[in-house]
């Protein structure tokens, strides 16, 4: 102790701080190298499948945020960080509301929510689905083209982006209504982003992928939306998906639930397991509905849960626990 003089203390603290900073930098670099985007890079669609930069078929798994105007508290970095760290998500879906006091009435407010999610996803190295969460998008074509053009211009250089240009069309014609809509929005995106995947909504709440397979949209890196809720949709919908895939469509499950189609009711664990087996078999990427604390069984969290609390087991709902078990790596 007598040999350690006061003048050396600043040097000692500097060495300790330098060591801590170096350790932090190494940790951050290691995390960057092992992130989903660092591993897979630029995604593409080849031979009816989503593939990574090496041409290998890839299956991404993650969560979907709830309607942005009704659950805005989860549209932030803290939510995404906790889902990455404690839920092992590889992608996040930003479900930007269009109607019901959404983007049509509050474009700047809703767009900014999505931008926060995109920026967090880029920083954390995961993929992000930018979802035009609408049931009547053919009536809002100018607004959709403007929004996606701006997003592509701002963020399209990043391989993290996945565009979902129409959440769930209703019972409308594929060839006469949906295909022309998609072609125009695709053109608006491709002016600024020639590479990132665009996912196209299909008739009847994005279930009739077989109809889209009869008359697909021309273009590169296009996938088609398949949505299901385990309590409502079973083998019949899987059969339609099989038909579409056999005709060459790449499918992407941008939304699914463990419950009935209304988002409530029982949690169907066996039916969810059947769908998981199907998606694993065909390497279909998926996002679960939803990151929310709404008082309904499809919400991943109990009412009152905040973004900083979503990693606490006591706050995770039955559905959340089921889905999280499929997200976590197998020991």
Return d(Cα 8, Cα 119) in angstroms, integer: 43
Q: Which residues, 6+ apart, have CB-to-CB distance to 136 below 8 Å?
A: 99, 170
CB contact at 8 A, 102 and 135: no
Domain ranges of the chain: 33-327
pLDDT at 151 over 60: yes
What's the CATH number for 33-327? 3.20.20.80
CB contact at 8 A, 229 and 272: no
pLDDT digits 0-9 by tens, 59-74: 999 999 999 999 999 9
The predicted model gives 27-34 an average pLDDT of 48
What pLDDT is attached to residue 14?
Answer: 44
Q: Which residues are catalytic?
A: 168, 255
The predicted model gives 77-94 an average pLDDT of 98
- Of 136, 132, 138, nearest to 114 by C-alpha is 132
What pLDDT is attached to residue 330?
Answer: 76
pLDDT digits 0-9 by tens, 266-312: 999 999 999 999 999 999 999 999 999 999 999 999 999 999 999 99
The predicted model gives 7-11 an average pLDDT of 40
Q: Which is it for strands 222-229 and 61-65: parallel, antiparallel or unpaired?
A: unpaired
- What is the DSSP-derived secondary structure letter of residue 60? -
């Amino acid at each position: 102790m007598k040999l350690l003089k006061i003048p050396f203390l600043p040097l000692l603290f500097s060495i300790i701080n330098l060591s801590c900073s170096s350790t932090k930098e190494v940790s951050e670099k290691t995390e960057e190298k092992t992130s989903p985007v660092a591993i897979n890079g630029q995604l593409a669609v080849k031979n009816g499948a989503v593939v990574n930069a090496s041409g290998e078929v890839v299956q991404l798994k993650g969560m979907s945020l709830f309607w942005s105007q009704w659950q805005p508290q989860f549209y932030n970095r803290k939510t995404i960080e906790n889902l990455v760290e404690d839920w092992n998500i590889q992608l996040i879906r930003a479900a930007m509301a269009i109607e019901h006091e959404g983007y049509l009435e509050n474009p700047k407010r809703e767009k900014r929510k999505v931008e926060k999610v995109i920026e967090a996803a880029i920083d954390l190295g995961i993929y992000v689905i930018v979802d035009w969460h609408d049931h009547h998008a053919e009536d809002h074509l100018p607004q959709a083209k403007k929004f996606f053009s701006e997003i592509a211009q701002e963020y399209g250089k990043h391989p993290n982006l996945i565009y979902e240009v129409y959440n769930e069309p209703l019972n409308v014609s594929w060839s006469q209504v949906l295909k022309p809509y998609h072609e125009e929005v695709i053109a608006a995106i491709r002016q600024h982003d020639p590479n990132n995947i665009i996912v196209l909504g299909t008739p009847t709440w994005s279930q009739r992928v077989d109809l889209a397979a009869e008359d697909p949209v021309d273009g590169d890196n296009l996938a088609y939306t398949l949505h299901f809720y385990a309590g409502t949709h079973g083998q019949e919908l899987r059969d339609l998906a099989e038909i579409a895939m056999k005709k060459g469509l790449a499918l992407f499950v941008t939304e699914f639930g463990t419950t009935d189609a209304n988002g409530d009711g029982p949690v169907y664990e066996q039916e969810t397991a059947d769908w998981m087996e199907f998606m694993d078999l065909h390497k279909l990427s998926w996002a679960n509905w939803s990151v929310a604390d709404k008082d309904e069984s499809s919400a991943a969290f109990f009412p009152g849960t905040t973004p900083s609390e979503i990693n606490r087991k006591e706050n995770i709902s039955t559905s959340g626990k089921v889905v999280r078990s499929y997200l976590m790596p197998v020991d």
